[in-house]
Structure 1
Amino acid sequence: MRELELKYGCNPNQKPARIYMDEGELPITVLNGKPGYINFMDALNSWQLVKALKKATGLPAAASFKHVSPAGAALGTPLTEVEKQIYFADGFDTSPIACAYIKARGADRLCSYGDWAALSDVCDEATARFLAMEVSDGIIAPGYTDEALAILKTKKKGNYNVVQIDPNYEPAPIETRHIYGITFQQGYNNFEINESLLDNIVTENKELPEAARHDLLLALLTLKYTQSNSVCYVKNGQTIGVGAGQQSRIHCTRLAGSKADNWMLRQHPKVLGLQFVDNIRRPNRDNAIDVYISDEYEDVLAEGVWQETFKVKPEPLTREEKKAWIAQMHGVSVGSDAFFPFGDNVERARKSGVEYIAQPGGSIRDDNVIETCNKYGIVMAFTGMRLFHH
């Protein structure tokens, strides 16, 4: 099949809409549902990310995409008991690819609401059973077991979007797009991200453990397929904060850092001890946790809204408790798709436990950024490669 007609483009008024190949067959097959224009944009961007992650690390990889940027991405390493709790994966069988998706979605469960899922490996029953519980628009993978496909076909009243992609497909070396009737052309970004990018360590501290190298590769690859400007925080083989599409670098760093802080706060004993009403929907539980760890919760308590969500009135998580808990964060890695222009980005990243940084370098103030890293013993590598994605 060379062409697939779509209901409409980005918005309902944008008709006609289609995806097609100038030469050859489409490398995708729709196994269920009717994916739309934005669905396919998410599918193809997310597939490139997980395919590259698998190639770079040798581990199964998954991503959770929303609006052409990852809400989360992760490698298929085992879940800890705390991760099973905060990702609501207790009681699920977990294969490596299932662990990858559970962590990718768990990185930022609010942003992953209604996501597009991408898997580097064949979707198995364990992954499908977890995905069946979540609000999601669709999935792309190189294949599906019979059991997994049967489960996914029951989702969204039988309308869940399931796309299979040929894992051997390679895009043309030149890509084109049209904006306002004008054609743009550029070479496909086939730049390979691997550990050699981390060799140029410019700080006094040059100790970069293997786990941190994997995390930095994950950060850089995530940035390669994230709307720029972007900054990504990673820990233990999963993104914990992605700041995408911001106009200034410091706002990227703050946004991603605040998401990383929320990820940490979700592990606080008070959060793990919350008692929810019976049969609460998963999205409602996610929203309640987000409000609970925010500065707005005491206002909600005053309004008495807590009865709709909790069995007993939760004790507030004070600002002092939050600050003390976040201060325990350590071993976090950060990647930036372009250079840090000022040391303020390092200052903000440090507050969220960042100990390792990878960024292109090349700012006229590189010396200030390096000096700031040295002040805190942070390891920083200059990759020499910008990773803008638009």
Structure 2
Amino acid sequence: MTKRALISVSNKEGIVEFAQELRKLGWDIISTGGTKAALDSAGIDSTSIDDVTGFPEMMDGRVKTLHPNIHGALLARRDLKSHLQAAADNKIELIDLVAVNLYPFKETVLKPDVTYADAVENIDIGGPSMLRSAAKNHASVTVIVDPADYAAVLEELANAGETTLATRQRLAAKVFRHTAAYDALIAEYFTAQVGESKPEKLTLTYDLKQSMRYGENPQQDADFYQTALPTAYSVASAKQLNGKELSFNNIRDSDAAIRIIRDFRDRPTVVALKHMNPCGIGQADDIETAWDYAYEADAVSIFGGIVVLNREVDAATAEKMHDIFLEIIIAPSYSEEALTILTNKKKNLRLLELPFDAQEASKTEKEYTGVVGGLLVQNQDVVAENPEDWRVVTERQPNDKETAALEFAWKAIKYVKSNGILIANDRMTLGVGPGQTNRVGAVRIAIEQAKDRLDGAVLASDAFFPFADNIEEIASAGIRAIIQPGGSVRDQDSIDAANKHGIAMVFTGVRHFRH
């Protein structure tokens, strides 16, 4: 009995060559609309879907393959006489291979000017139905959704006259992943359209971006997936200009770095980061000076770290960065001279280029954190804060220079792991105490790092001070201004201690825990 293949593809890549080889192997081909036109143009004989169903394509192509002569031909079990008899009684000829890909829904909704009507019209109904029918009956039917699989299928057909069960199983699994991802994108689109913020089902889909050598540690397997609708300002979308492939830890650190720099848009700023904590942040009127400040903030920790700059990297700044060992540099652009300098004898230095003008759009993306047996979902900590809403709760008011330093420190502390303490002046961080199990310990670490540079320095705490002993530590170091959320039942104890030592203290009313 002659084998039959049904081919209906929106992506015509390789389809003519595939169909030609099937015909050489003696297969009959059924095709639809645009696919049939492509095959006809190449001189490849095929039967129109209309001739199989006995109905014309109708309703602008919405209805063409939803028919028993198609789905019965795909779903009939070859090992059951009752199925084969039903097919024969109803004059249904079996279909042994399906090559289908779907309307470009993803490509449609990615268009900046897409309309709701365009999105709806690019929801494929017949395609997923045929794919699912064929995949369900993979015991007998070969189903292909990816042009990359044409060659392997043809090789097996040429060698053995049929595909192996293992191949059919593999292709069926791929189909179900594909249709699930397709439906997830549609669900995501409609969920956003109706403004549903807490759907009862969370459907996410990602595309494999990179298979990694290992994860956080060599004994951990890992892969990097990118959102199916890519975010422009993200490590996944970054253009890599130089260096080795990014590792698991590189990606996490880079992500933390580009989140931090988003809050420093008004002035040239450089952030140096190590293990997802900022080790130095500097801002100035030009990017070279901002680099100087970020480097001076902690010239030890920056070694082997990640640096992100929010202005083009120029030659002078590149010369300074070239002199030390860095893992990654991220920037909106690099001058030709800077690229030449940074790549000179630095084949492993990873240089990433990102569209910084897409930063705002990246802030709306949800954060997902895996836990055993579940997933936590939250908005990013990108709340807009206005210093005019802050309260000075002490007798002493901060002076103008301290006020500028407090605003700078408050932007920076948001990205220090809790319990987090950060000491800064109005142009650079001076000491960072990240991720401690108690706040006094974090204060002591930050002070120790900032010692001998505390003139005019201020201190920021990501959460309230639970006890006045923190204030005593700060006062003994000579720091004269503090910014913190407030909100502790012992706030008055901290205020009294600050007043006792002549310290200005500002409450923001916003906590910035970061675990």
TM-score (ref. length: structure 2): 0.56
Distance 1:2 1:166 in 2: 21
Contact 1:63 1:105 in 2 (8 A): no
Match of 1:29 in 2: 239
Match of 2:354 in 1: 165
Residue 53 (structure 1) shift: 1.7
Distance 1:375 1:115 in 2: 40
Residue 76 (structure 1) shift: 1.7
Match of 1:70 in 2: 278
Match of 2:458 in 1: 333
Match of 2:393 in 1: 202
Are 1:370 and 2:483 an aligned pair? no
Provide the secondary structure at the position in 1 that maps to 2:392.
coil
Distance 2:459 2:366 in 1: 31
- Counterpart AA for 2:415: Y
Residue 196 (structure 1) shift: 2.7
Match of 1:176 in 2: 368
1:104-115, aligned counterparts within 5 Å? 104-115=294-305
1:271-350, aligned counterparts within 5 Å? 329-350=454-475
Alignment partner of 2:481 out of 356, 360, 367: 356
Contact 1:47 1:141 in 2 (8 A): no
Which whole-Å deviations, capped at 9, do the CAs of 1:223-267 have from their partners, x for residues lacking one?
111111100001241110000000101111111011011x53xxx
Contact 1:193 1:217 in 2 (8 A): no
- The count of residues paired between Structure 1 and Structure 2 equals 301
From the CA coordinates, give the structure whose radius of gyration is larger. Answer: 2
Residue 194 (structure 1) shift: 4.1
Which whole-Å deviations, capped at 9, do the CAs of 1:196-224 have from their partners, x for residues lacking one?
35x31000112x23322221122112111
Distance 2:373 2:330 in 1: 30
Distance 2:239 2:207 in 1: 11
Residue 3 (structure 1) shift: 5.0
- Counterpart AA for 2:269: A
Contact 1:233 1:260 in 2 (8 A): yes
Instruction: Structure 1: state its 5+ residue gaps.
Output: 78-95, 265-328
Distance 1:155 1:67 in 2: 26
Distance 2:260 2:411 in 1: 7
Provide the secondary structure at the position in 2 that maps to 1:46.
helix
Match of 2:309 in 1: 119
Distance 1:3 1:141 in 2: 25
Match of 2:269 in 1: 61
Contact 1:338 1:386 in 2 (8 A): yes
Contact 1:194 1:217 in 2 (8 A): no
Match of 2:252 in 1: 41
Match of 2:513 in 1: 388
Contact 1:219 1:335 in 2 (8 A): yes
Which whole-Å deviations, capped at 9, do the CAs of 1:139-167 have from their partners, x for residues lacking one?
111111111112111253x1101111121
Match of 1:139 in 2: 329
Alignment partner of 1:191 out of 383, 389, 396: 383
Residue 184 (structure 1) shift: 1.3
Which whole-Å deviations, capped at 9, do the CAs of 1:259-302 have from their partners, x for residues lacking one?
011x53xxxxxxxxxxxxxxxxxxxxxxxxxxxxxxxxxxxxxx
Provide the secondary structure at the position in 2 that maps to 1:242.
strand
- Counterpart AA for 1:254: R
Provide the secondary structure at the position in 2 that maps to 1:358.
strand
Contact 1:74 1:218 in 2 (8 A): no
Distance 2:223 2:262 in 1: 27
- Counterpart AA for 2:209: L
Please, what is the CA RMSD of the aligned residues? Answer: 1.9
Distance 1:353 1:149 in 2: 43
Percent identity, please.
31
- Counterpart AA for 1:165: L
Distance 1:73 1:165 in 2: 19
Residue 181 (structure 1) shift: 4.7
- Counterpart AA for 1:205: R
TM-score (ref. length: structure 1): 0.73
Provide the secondary structure at the position in 1 that maps to 2:391.
coil
Alignment partner of 1:51 out of 262, 278, 283: 262
- Counterpart AA for 1:242: V
Distance 2:473 2:374 in 1: 40
- Counterpart AA for 2:267: L
Are 1:4 and 2:209 an aligned pair? yes
Which whole-Å deviations, capped at 9, do the CAs of 1:81-104 have from their partners, x for residues lacking one?
xxxxxxxxxxxxxxx212112211
Are 1:245 and 2:435 an aligned pair? yes
Residue 389 (structure 1) shift: 1.2
Provide the secondary structure at the position in 1 that maps to 2:512.
coil
Instruction: Structure 2: state its 5+ residue gaps.
Output: 1-205
Provide the secondary structure at the position in 2 that maps to 1:65.
strand
Relative to structure 1, the CA distance from residue 105 to residue 53 in structure 2 (aligned partners, 3 Å threshold; closer, same or farther) is same
Distance 2:325 2:385 in 1: 32
- Counterpart AA for 1:200: R
Distance 1:209 1:18 in 2: 48
Distance 2:436 2:296 in 1: 22
